[in-house]
């Protein structure tokens, strides 16, 4: 095998030393740093017009994506994209070691003197792990891509096509980087006569279970949705509880039905998604008093392999109906018991169970109030954009609350909607010629490198974490996407996503990235040999095999 380890390790440490926490000026600065790395190479001194610093569009921050193109000496249109993100999550979890989070060697020395878990202690004792924020997620992956592109910049004659490096910002939040880059990629393809035949993402991989010895390569990626529920109750004084309806009880019923429930796992190709889990559950009271809340708000992480947004919406509407009916039945039974125990007369309340999607609610209001409503909602949505404290999820909730106010009905009720960035699933199929070329190149590369790797390398079909891979192709049909856009209140306002541009790009993507532990956690670390030697070699071979597999006649 070629030697990649020394350069990739040095580049990884260098990138870690440049803090690039999402939302900070470091995101901008690390893009400049990577741009300068390539600008100094002889290839780009001779071809400066093939090095790009793309400012993100529709972003409230100054951030950049970096792209660098190495072309085959023989004119070819086939092009492989090397992808990776340059931002990281924050470092608050490092506690007293926070000042060392971006100094891998200093942090490592401190950890050696600290009280560590058996797993962390065992890993560090081997001397084969690098620590620090971004070490595995995913500066080691970006460093591997930099090493690979630098090699081909020095040896373009090894390419039977072109290689495009892409480093994106804002992967850890709202994906401004890749969503902005998609349009630039399409423009570059048109301008430079490129045809993208495959993309290799180098996001991190990790064990699938404790003691798992395998390293993983993924063909395609899981999709992610964030279904949310605006839950309407009916306020009452805490001394008269049965005259109202607590929306928190409905939220609890929803979470009981959804949280960790394998019935919501999505299976395809024999692989199963993780079940959904609650990411937020709260009522909407902003101060203390003895009145029960008017409304509650909850949302859940929802992974998909096969299901479209339309499928998820349909399934969860039924779940919401069941949760609301369960809550009404519980309150009714407990009211009856209370009346029996207290000797009070039982005066049944005619609770109804209203469950609507956001689209259904919006259309009902538009039919009832006409252009007065639609114009007011557009103005309301635009004014909400001025509140910089509102994140995407809160923005969607406020929009739903406003529409419900127009509707003017009482609870209990549930409104179902989508509250965050749509992360499309990407499914590779051997029935598709372009996919088949990439799948075969990956299999051949893994088979060739496996004898040089002490751990088994498994090829699976779905990268199990959210990543920028989701935005280079879309497998959902127009009907599925329409169900999403009509039920996401922020669509076209606070959240911009050019679905047509992604469909135009439409490149099959795999993930062959570093191996490590505790991404997004205090003990984040990356295994050096696999990540900085094996991964670049596998990707080197995939690039060469994929480009060679196309008929250049």
The pLDDT tens digits along the chain (553 residues) read: 689 999 999 999 999 999 999 999 999 999 999 999 999 999 999 999 999 999 998 888 999 999 999 999 999 999 999 999 999 999 999 999 999 999 999 999 999 888 889 999 999 999 999 999 999 999 999 999 999 999 999 999 999 999 999 999 999 988 999 999 999 999 999 999 999 999 999 999 999 999 999 999 999 999 999 999 999 999 989 899 999 999 999 999 999 999 999 999 999 999 999 999 999 999 999 899 999 999 999 999 999 999 999 999 999 999 999 999 999 999 999 999 999 999 999 998 888 889 999 999 999 999 999 999 999 999 999 999 999 889 999 999 999 999 999 999 988 999 999 999 899 999 999 999 999 999 999 999 999 999 999 999 999 999 999 999 999 999 999 999 999 999 999 999 998 899 999 999 999 999 999 999 999 999 999 999 999 999 999 999 999 999 999 986 5
Rounded CA gap, 532 and 322, in Å?
51
Give the CATH fold of the 227-418 domain. Answer: Alpha-Beta Plaits (3.30.70)
In terms of Cα–Cα distance, which of 103, 87, 77, 222 is closest to 161? 77
Rounded CA gap, 512 and 525, in Å?
17
**β-strands 78-85, 162-168 pairing:** parallel
**β-strands 195-201, 78-85 pairing:** parallel
The backbone torsions φ and ψ at residue 517, rounded to the nearest 5 degrees and listed phi first, read -130, 155
CATH 3.30.70.360 maps onto the chain at 227-418
Find the length of the chain.
Answer: 553
CATH 3.40.630.10 maps onto the chain at 5-222+423-472+507-548
Tell me the sheet residues that pair with 264. none
- List, in sequence order, the alpha helices (H) in 167-308: 176-192, 247-258
Rounded CA gap, 355 and 295, in Å?
14
Furthest CA-CA distance within the chain:
92
User: Which residue do the tokens 């999403």 mark?
Assistant: 484
The DSSP secondary structure of 154-169, one letter per residue, reads H-GGG-SSEEEEEEES
Rounded CA gap, 39 and 356, in Å?
55
Rounded CA gap, 401 and 403, in Å?
6
Q: Residue 248 has what pLDDT? A: 97
The backbone torsions φ and ψ at residue 515, rounded to the nearest 5 degrees and listed phi first, read -115, 130
Tell me the sheet residues that pair with 237. 291
Domain 5-222+423-472+507-548 part of CATH 3.10.20.30:
no
Task: Judge if the upstream peptide bond of residue 25 is cis by omega within 30 degrees of 0.
Answer: no
Rounded CA gap, 381 and 183, in Å?
26
Q: Residue 388 has what pLDDT? A: 85
Q: Residue 63 has what pLDDT? A: 95
> Is the separation of the CB atoms in 501 and 468 below 8 Å?
no
> Is the separation of the CB atoms in 253 and 324 below 8 Å?
yes
């Amino acid at each position: 095998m070629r030697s990649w380890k020394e350069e990739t390790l040095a580049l990884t440490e260098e990138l870690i030393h440049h803090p690039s926490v999402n939302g900070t000026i470091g995101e901008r600065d690390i893009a400049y740093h990577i741009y300068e790395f390539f600008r100094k190479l002889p290839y780009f001194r001779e071809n400066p017009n093939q090095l790009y610093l793309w400012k993100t569009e529709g972003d409230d921050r100054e951030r950049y994506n970096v792209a660098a193109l190495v072309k085959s000496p023989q004119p070819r249109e086939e092009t492989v994209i090397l992808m990776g993100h340059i931002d990281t999550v924050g470092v608050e979890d490092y506690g007293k070691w926070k000042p060392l989070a971006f100094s891998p060697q200093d942090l490592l020395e401190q950890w050696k003197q600290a009280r560590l878990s058996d797993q962390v202690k065992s890993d560090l004792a081997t001397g084969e792990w690098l620590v620090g924020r971004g070490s595995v997620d995913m500066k080691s992956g970006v460093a591997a891509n930099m090493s690979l592109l630098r090699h081909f910049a020095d040896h373009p004659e090894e390419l039977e096509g072109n290689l495009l490096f892409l480093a994106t910002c804002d992967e850890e939040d709202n994906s401004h980087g890749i969503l902005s880059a998609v349009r630039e990629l399409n423009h570059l393809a048109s301008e430079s006569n490129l045809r993208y035949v495959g993309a290799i993402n180098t996001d991190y991989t990790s064990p699938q279970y404790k003691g798992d010895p395998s390293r993983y390569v993924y063909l395609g990626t899981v999709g992610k949705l964030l279904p949310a529920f605006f839950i309407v109750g009916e306020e009452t004084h805490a001394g008269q509880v049965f005259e109202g309806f607590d929306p928190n009880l409905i939220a609890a019923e929803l979470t009981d039905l959804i949280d960790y429930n394998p019935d919501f796992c999505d299976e395809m190709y024999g692989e199963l998604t993780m079940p959904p889990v609650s990411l937020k559950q709260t009522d909407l009271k902003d101060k203390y008093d003895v009145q029960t809340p008017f409304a509650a708000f909850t949302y859940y992480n929802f992974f998909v392999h096969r299901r479209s947004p339309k499928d998820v919406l349909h399934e969860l509407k039924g779940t919401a109906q069941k949760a609301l009916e369960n809550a009404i039945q519980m309150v009714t039974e407990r009211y009856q018991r209370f009346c029996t125990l207290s000797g009070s007369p039982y005066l049944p309340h005619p609770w109804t169970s209203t469950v609507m999607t956001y689209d259904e609610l919006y259309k009902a209001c538009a039919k009832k109030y006409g252009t007065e409503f639609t114009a007011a909602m557009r103005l309301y949505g635009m004014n909400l954009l001025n509140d910089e404290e509102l994140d995407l999820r809160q923005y969607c909730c406020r929009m739903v609350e406003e529409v419900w106010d127009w509707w003017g009905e009482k609870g209990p009720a549930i409104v179902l909607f989508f509250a965050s960035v749509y992360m499309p699933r990407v499914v590779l199929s051997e029935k598709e010629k372009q996919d088949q070329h990439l799948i075969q190149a990956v299999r051949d590369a893994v088979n060739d490198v496996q004898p040089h790797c002490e751990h088994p390398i498994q090829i699976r079909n779905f990268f199990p974490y959210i990543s920028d891979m989701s935005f280079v192709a879309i497998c959902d049909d127009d009907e599925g996407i329409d169900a999403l856009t009509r039920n996401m209140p922020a669509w076209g306002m606070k959240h911009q996503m050019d679905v047509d541009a992604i469909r135009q790009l439409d490149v099959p993507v795999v993930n062959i990235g570093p191996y490590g532990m505790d991404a997004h956690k205090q003990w984040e670390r990356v295994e050096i040999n696999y990540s900085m030697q094996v991964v670049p070699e596998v990707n080197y071979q995939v690039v060469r095999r994929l480009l060679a597999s196309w008929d250049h006649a």
